[in-house]
Amino acid sequence: MDVVEISDDNIAEILKENSKVLIDCYAPWCGPCRMLAPIIEQLASEHSDVKFCKINIDENDKVCLEYQIMSIPTILFFENGKLKKQTVGFQAKEELVELIKS
């Protein structure tokens, strides 16, 4: 499954339509974000039960305000439309797998 680019306009719809959603909050200029991107893509191909998304925080300030994103990368993990976990900073693949399974 591909990682889907989302925005302030469609995040509510994505959360409503999918039971598990992982959102990578990133910016194109962020080094750790660029390091995290291939890990997210790999996880998306391995975990079909989770919808993997990314959102550019430079272009989508509503998400930043709602989830109080102060640093990037930030990972938001939702289950049944509710925020279950929020992490800040680079996460290794194993840490993200634990996040998804917890």
- Active-site residue (options: 25, 30, 53, 64): 30
CATH number of the domain that residue 38 is part of: 3.40.30.10
Per the structure, the complete domain to which residue 21 belongs is given by 4-101
Cross-strand partners of 24: 54, 75
Global pTM value = 0.95
pLDDT tens sequence for the chain (102 residues): 799 999 999 999 999 998 999 999 999 999 999 999 999 999 999 999 999 999 999 999 999 999 999 999 999 999 999 999 999 999 999 999 999 987
Backbone angles phi, psi at 47, to 5 degrees: -125, 90
Give the chain's domain count. Answer: 1
Active site residue 53: no
Please confirm, yes or no, whether 33 is among the known catalytic residues. Answer: yes
| Cβ-contact 30, 72 below 8 angstroms | yes
Q: What span, in angstroms and rounded, lies between the C-alpha atoms of 53 and 39? A: 13
Give the per-residue pLDDT at 96.
96
